[in-house]
Copies of this chain bind each other. A is one copy, B any other.
Amino acid sequence: MSTTLTRVNVTGMTCGHCVASVTEEIGEIAGVEGVDVTLETGEVAITSDRELARADIAAAVAEAGYGLA
């Protein structure tokens, strides 16, 4: 059992609703165990039980209506 930590930066989030949307969409990626979003900086820390593809994260963020920096 190992945990992978992936960090990305998301642009365009302005409020707690945005954080909730991003957290929800990233949380639906297979293997994701935790999502920690810092609104002020756009930093998102994702813990997962496997390596994540950046394309999958980008797709989830886009689904929420935002983009990767």
A18 to B15, CA, bound (A): 8
The number of residues on chain A lying at the interface, defined by a beta carbon within 8 Å of a beta carbon of chain B, is 7
Nearest B residue (CB) for A21: B17
A14 within 8 A of B: yes
A18 to B17, CA, bound (A): 7
Which residues from B are CB-within-8-Å of A21?
Answer: 17
- Among residues of B, the one whose C-beta sits closest to the C-beta of A13 is B15
What B residues does A18 contact at CB under 8 A?
15, 17
Task: Collect the chain B residues with CB atoms within 8 Å of residue A16's CB.
Answer: 65
The A1-20 residues at the B interface (CB cut-off 8 A) are 14-18
A interface residues (Cβ-Cβ under 8 A, vs B)? 14-18, 21, 65
